[in-house]
Amino acid sequence: MTRAVRFGNIAEAERLARRKLPKAVWLAVKAGNEQGWTLDENLGAFNELGFSPRVFDRPTSFDLRTTVLGINVEFPVLVSPVGAQAIHPDGETGVARAAARAGTAMGLSSWASDSITDVARANPNTIFQLYWVGTKDQIESRVEAARAAGAKALIVTLDWSFTPRRDWGVPPSPPSNLDLKTMAVLAPHALSRPFWFGSYLLRGRIPELKVPNLFEADRTVPYFGKAWADFAATPPPTWQDIKWLRELWGGPFMVKGINTIRDAKLSIDLGADAISLSNHGGNNIDGSPSPLRYLPSVVEAVGDQVDIMVDGGIRRGSDVVKALALGAKAVFAGRALLYGLAAGGTEGAYQALDILKAGIRETLFGIGHGSIKELSPDDLMVLNRDFFVPPAC
């Protein structure tokens, strides 16, 4: 059993996670692509925006509610569909329970360690996120499995350019099976954190990287390495492919990974209900600016036609407020939840969400708003006059 852990902010959860996780696992969670410039940029961009605090006529109640992809949530933070949350025995199912308790939706990755069936059972407001892996028949089977499990919406993520080189010393993903050779390589990492490894053994399992939502044609569940090889071998989808996917699903649909006005407009043309501006949390092309910098331009171009979300660098409730003030409908939080999960399992993930929710209320109080719907760019001070960059059209 995981011992009860308390932390007062996401930075503290990050420090706890680093101490608890084996180095290889920690680097897989923390590292950005190549030198990590974009990872740092995602965090730093928020620090270039400030607020003008008010002291008169402050609110006494707060309305944080919003609706994303037809799902009503209690506050504008959704769990980002981050893969392989087997960093803790509770995994994605535990995070889903935490999100349900906090009153928000759970984004589930194709690369998740838990199945869509288990996760949707833990949180009825689960959104399934799809990568384009394998044949159309395989993709259709996975979409139908998500539908049968009760997924409320579908996300297709397109911002991955197969640039996995990292300057951080992150080890390669395990191969297609955990043979003796592989276990010999991984054992020192696991045994370096005996309490972490023991938490799995107490539940009668080991931390293996299988991906049940990328099941193969015969319904076998591949290991991460095999699924990755299939992903790399799959030709990237065309615009017509994504249009086919949107029509196949038929329900609320989001395109994630948008970085240009052109792609935002193309997403609307194929019928997307929402888009998410993202550089894959710093794990796509290193050198991509924070989506926060071009969020206002995309909002101006298409904000009246589609709901716009953003992710990357969310660590505080004030970060959420800044994104909403620039026009985002809500945000995805990824690493913040992973830090909480690693630090304290399901309870730690809930604490991370609760910290973000409290931070939103506190920031709204400080700038004199009782509702997130009252936010606008006028609530922000741009500390760097060159902060905003126009995205490619």
Q: Do residues 168 and 36 make contact, with C-beta atoms less than 8 angstroms apart?
A: yes
pTM: 0.92
Residue 387: its pLDDT value, please? 81
Residue 187: its pLDDT value, please? 60
254: which strand partners? 155, 274
Q: Do residues 217 and 137 make contact, with C-beta atoms less than 8 angstroms apart?
A: yes
Q: Which residue spans within the chain are E strands per DSSP?
A: 49-51, 66-68, 71-73, 77-79, 106-108, 126-130, 153-157, 253-258, 274-277, 307-311, 330-333, 380-382
Catalytic residue among 88, 189, 280, 369: 280
Q: Do residues 369 and 380 make contact, with C-beta atoms less than 8 angstroms apart?
A: no
Q: What residues does each domain of the chain span?
A: 10-382
Measured CA to CA in angstroms, residue 188 lies from 184, 192, 193 at distances of: 8, 6, 9
- The CATH class for the domain spanning 10-382 reads alpha beta
Residue 2: its pLDDT value, please? 47
50: which strand partners? 381
66: which strand partners? 73
Is 280 among the catalytic positions? yes
DSSP 153-184: EEEEE----S---BTT-PPPPP-SS--HHHHH
Mean pLDDT (10-residue bins), the chain, 393 residues: 78 96 88 92 95 91 97 98 90 97 98 96 98 96 98 94 74 58 59 72 73 94 88 94 98 97 97 97 92 96 97 97 98 97 96 98 97 96 80 76
